[in-house]
Amino acid sequence: KQEVTQIPAALSVPEGENLVLNCSFTDSAIYNLQWFRQDPGKGLTSLLLIQSSQREQTSGRLNASLDKSSGRSTLYIAASQPGDSATYLCAVDTGRRALTFGSGTRLQVQP
């Protein structure tokens, strides 16, 4: 059974700092990996999708990498802003379409 772990559970940084969020998964046979953002009381917003054949994806200040062999993905946020404060969720598709989610990293960017 696929298990997804996100470390740290919470992170507080000053505005402008570059930061890395980590995601690990137990079964390397994945179809894709997706990073989401969730604001309090809101739904999930898709940030980046990395397919199993890809090593990274970039969108603006966000860069996500994937290392299937080690079962790891990282989300890099450059020049963090207070508006980046949210919970970031990593989710893995093992090929059966349904996503297995990590428990998230709660990010607070201090102005």
Partner 1 sequence: DAGVIQSPRHEVTEMGQEVTLRCKPISGHDYLFWYRQTMMRGLELLIYFNNNVPIDDSGMPEDRFSAKMPNASFSTLKIQPSEPRDSAVYFCASSAEKNEQYFGPGTRLTVT
Which residues contact partner 1 by CB under 8 A?
Answer: 31-32, 34, 36, 41-46, 49, 51, 89, 91, 93, 96-99, 101-104
Q: Computed over its alpha carbons, how large is the radius of gyration of the chain?
A: 13
**Residue with Cβ nearer partner 1 (92 or 109):** 92
Upstream peptide bond of 8 is cis (omega within 30 degrees of 0): yes
- Bridge-based pairing of strands 105-110 and 10-14 is parallel
- Strands 105-110 and 56-59, bridge-based pairing: unpaired
Residue number with CB closer to partner 1 (15 or 31) = 31
Nearer CB in complex with partner 1: 77/99: 99
State the nearest-atom distance from the C-beta of 45 to partner 1, in Å: 8
CB of 80 to partner 1, least distance (A): 24
Asked if 107 contacts 87 with a C-beta cutoff of 8 angstroms, the reply is yes
